[in-house]
Structure 1
Amino acid sequence: MNTTHQKKSKKTALITGAASGIGYELAYIFARNNYNLVLVDRNAIKLTEVSEKFQQEFAIIVKNIVKDLALSTAPEEIFRELQQANIQVDALVNNAGFGTYGLFNETNLNTELEMLQVNLVCLTHLTKLFLKDMVKQGEGKILNVSSAAAFQPGPLMAVYFATKAYVLSFSEAIANELEGTGVTVTVLCPGSTVSAFHERTGMADSNLVKNKKMMDAETVAQIGYDALMKGKTVVIPGFINKLLAKSVRFVPRQLVTKIVRSMQEDK
């Protein structure tokens, strides 16, 4: 259901990539905690199903925005639509993102350019647009979904790993800039998570994923939400993921890259 106003008693969270995976679970948690929602995804059918479920279960207002974030015009269109509807965003969750798998000289350029737009440019653009009002209001929360991939180079997923490294660095930097403003920035860096991500990227048979126990999206989302509410800057779900992220600082980069390559291979 689309709306042109908000219930004053509730805050509003905007979540991109909200129709499935970690985005869906984050949306569910926000709804359970009495937030109205703005859900953004390119899958109109799933988005409608999700919004109807949340409205019935939690008696909240949900506004759907069907948008392909690979289009450069998408962030401005989303921002303008919410301004026209007089909807204030109190929590921005930049969750949307995707990857591609293979040798860089063999992968599809257009796919990678779209990945850069979604994972990096759109996230930056939306943050810029909504952050200004949050600072004026003296409060707000931003959750950027990065990855454990952010802490090292990633052969066979070179562009994806690089985009996630950007998200981590960008989020840490602006979190520092925003100290004392009432606005906090949290970056969530999950490891491999149960979702359709690995099938879509073609790496379901890689050593990193095959026959490995992975954290479920619901658990990852809850850890991210809790960290956001506490105002933490960087959160890495899972002890092993934390250990690996910290240990790469003490290992030569060339060796780290070789290790990651062996983990990414499917043989």
Structure 2
Amino acid sequence: MSTSATANLGKRALVTGASSGIGAAIARELATLGVDLVLTARRRDALDAVAASCKGVKVEIISADLGKADAAHALWDAATANGPIDILINNAGFGYFRRFDEVDWARDAELVQLNITSLVALARCFVDANTTRIDPAQLVNIASTGAYQSVPNMALYAASKAFVRNFSEALHDEHRGTPLSVTCICPGGTETAFHAASGGGDYSWIANASTKSAEFVAHATIRAMLRGKRTVVPGLFNKLTCFGVRFLSRRLASRVATHVLGKPRLALPVRGAT
């Protein structure tokens, strides 16, 4: 990162879903830039391991389950108890790869709470706390390439990420020209535990070829955040896919997604911590 870019970087960041995958990689990327961290997820042991890998900065750990009602506000209060949050990375989320009618409603309700309701609640807390500030504040919401179309067997997950994308882009436009920037990141397939936890994995060569590492996505995320970008799709192949889908009918795009992602696994694993 250039010195001019990092000059606008906040001093303290809250990263949700920081116990593994993209969240953990973003935490380490921020640590290399000297940003103090508040890391949250459900698994304390995994958070401890991530914290140990974030050298040279102060790291606080808050165990929280954002799939629970009102957990977001309790998390925000705890995260700001020792100082303001200059950067919010709304990364926590989960999905499943299965027909909508084959999953219990309780799991769907948890998905909506985590992927949408808690994300919005934290975003509101962050915006309210930073609307009048004069130095930069950055909000990053992690969506998905699934935000660009319907995705059979991931109907609710993709729809939740479409919400995140539209919500983030509107916030970006509302705060254009102010010190508060909002960036939406839409990763494609990423080398994380998400696939096994969701019951996916029988992907076509197209999906496998476009898969990126969590570190690649994290680097793209911080780069986009520092530049105040509106929406970024990491990876050339993923960019082309999201651009190309606009030339297909929505029905055809949905059929293509079914082919690319393959069939769900026989057993749906219990949701892992995020």
TM-score with structure 2 setting the length: 0.89
Residue of structure 2 in register with 1:100 after alignment: 96
- For 1:164, the aligned partner's letter is K
Matches within 5 A, 1:66-105: 66-83=63-80, 85-105=81-101
- For 1:75, the aligned partner's letter is A
Q: Select the structure with the greater relative contact order (CA < 8 A; seq sep ≥ 6).
A: 2
Moved more, 87-96 or 244-253: 244-253
Kindly report the root-mean-square deviation, in angstroms, between the aligned alpha carbons of the 2 structures. 1.8
Whole-angstrom CA distance in 1 between matches of 2:107 and 2:205? 22
Residue of structure 2 in register with 1:61 after alignment: 58
Matched, 1:114 2:107: no
Give CA deviations for 1:31-76 in whole Å, capped at 9, x if unaligned. Answer: 110000000110011112222332xx21x11111100010112111
Matched, 1:191 2:180: no
Matched, 1:123 2:87: no
- For 1:51, the aligned partner's letter is A
Whole-angstrom CA distance in 2 between matches of 1:211 and 1:241? 11
Give CA deviations for 1:191-236 in whole Å, capped at 9, x if unaligned. Answer: 1011111000111123378864621110111001100001011111
Whole-angstrom CA distance in 2 between matches of 1:10 and 1:261? 41
Matched, 1:157 2:169: no
Tell me the secondary structure at the aligned position of residue 144 of structure 1: strand
- For 2:90, the aligned partner's letter is N
Matched, 1:226 2:237: no
Give CA deviations for 1:164-194 in whole Å, capped at 9, x if unaligned. Answer: 1001000000100001221100111111011
Give the deviation of 1:266 after TM superposition.
Answer: 2.4
- Runs of 4 or more, structure 1, over 4 Å off, are 208-213
Say if 1:100 and 1:112, in contact at 8 Å, map to a contact too: no
Whole-angstrom CA distance in 2 between matches of 1:43 and 1:142? 24
Give CA deviations for 1:226-251 in whole Å, capped at 9, x if unaligned. Answer: 00001011111111111111111121
Tell me the secondary structure at the aligned position of residue 136 of structure 1: coil
Say if 1:192 and 1:209, in contact at 8 Å, map to a contact too: no
Whole-angstrom CA distance in 2 between matches of 1:80 and 1:191? 32
Whole-angstrom CA distance in 1 between matches of 2:93 and 2:120? 13
Q: For this pair of structures, how many residues does the alignment match?
A: 255
Whole-angstrom CA distance in 2 between matches of 1:134 and 1:124? 15
- For 2:246, the aligned partner's letter is R
Gaps of 5+ in 1: 1-8
Whole-angstrom CA distance in 1 between matches of 2:208 and 2:158? 22
Whole-angstrom CA distance in 2 between matches of 1:266 and 1:209? 14
- For 2:154, the aligned partner's letter is M
Give the deviation of 1:134 after TM superposition.
Answer: 1.3
Identity percentage of aligned residues: 35
Whole-angstrom CA distance in 2 between matches of 1:228 and 1:10? 11
Gaps of 5+ in 2: 1-8, 265-274
Whole-angstrom CA distance in 1 between matches of 2:79 and 2:196? 34
Tell me the secondary structure at the aligned position of residue 22 of structure 1: helix
